[in-house]
Amino acid sequence: MTKAETIRLDKWLWYARFFKTRTLAAKLVSGGHVRINGVRAGKPAHAVGAGDVLTFAQGDAIRVVEIAACGVRRGPAPEAQALYIDTSPPPPPKAPTGPRFDSGGRPTKKDRRDMERMSETARFRPLE
């Protein structure tokens, strides 16, 4: 690889819009949380180029991306997405957590009317 075909790792992560600032990308790399072709990257200045595979955590997901191009600037999102090929595994499906799905939580307006109607009829029922 020639010098023109490589770029600093933190700069590429910032160009590809995986991190909002280059400092955040550099902190992740310095912390040893980025792997290049399966080997832990120790410094943000590590040179990467087309064909390298990066593995890193972003939020709750593990991202696995192959570098397609080095890039020359931090452009708009479509330009940034052209810099890599995403081979990340799909996230596991999440179970719904709302009260409608677990049959708990607050009653609906209709449920409250029904409960009031039942309590009124029980309260005013004549004694036998």
Q: What's the pLDDT band for 92 if we cut at 50, 70, 90?
A: confident
Q: Give the pLDDT band (50/70/90) at residue 116.
A: confident
For range 9-31, the mean pLDDT: 95
Query: With contact defined as beta carbons under 8 Å apart, do 88 and 101 qualify?
Result: no
Is residue 48 within a helix (H) or strand (E), and if so which, with residue range?
A: strand 47-49
Classify burial at 102, counting beta carbons within 10 Å of its beta carbon; exposed 0-12, middle 13-18, buried 19 or more. Answer: exposed
Give residue 1's pLDDT. Answer: 46
Q: Which tens digit of pLDDT belongs to each residue from 31-84?
A: 999 999 999 998 999 999 999 999 999 888 899 999 999 999 999 999 999 999
Residue ranges per structural domain of the chain: 3-86
CATH of 3-86, one of 3.10.290.10, 3.40.50.1100, 1.10.10.10, 2.40.50.140: 3.10.290.10
**Nearest residue to 39 (alpha-carbon basis) of 22, 24, 54:** 54
Query: What's the pLDDT at 119?
Result: 78
The answer to whether the CB of 48 falls within 8 A of the CB of 9 is: yes
**Tokens 């939580």, residue located:** 105
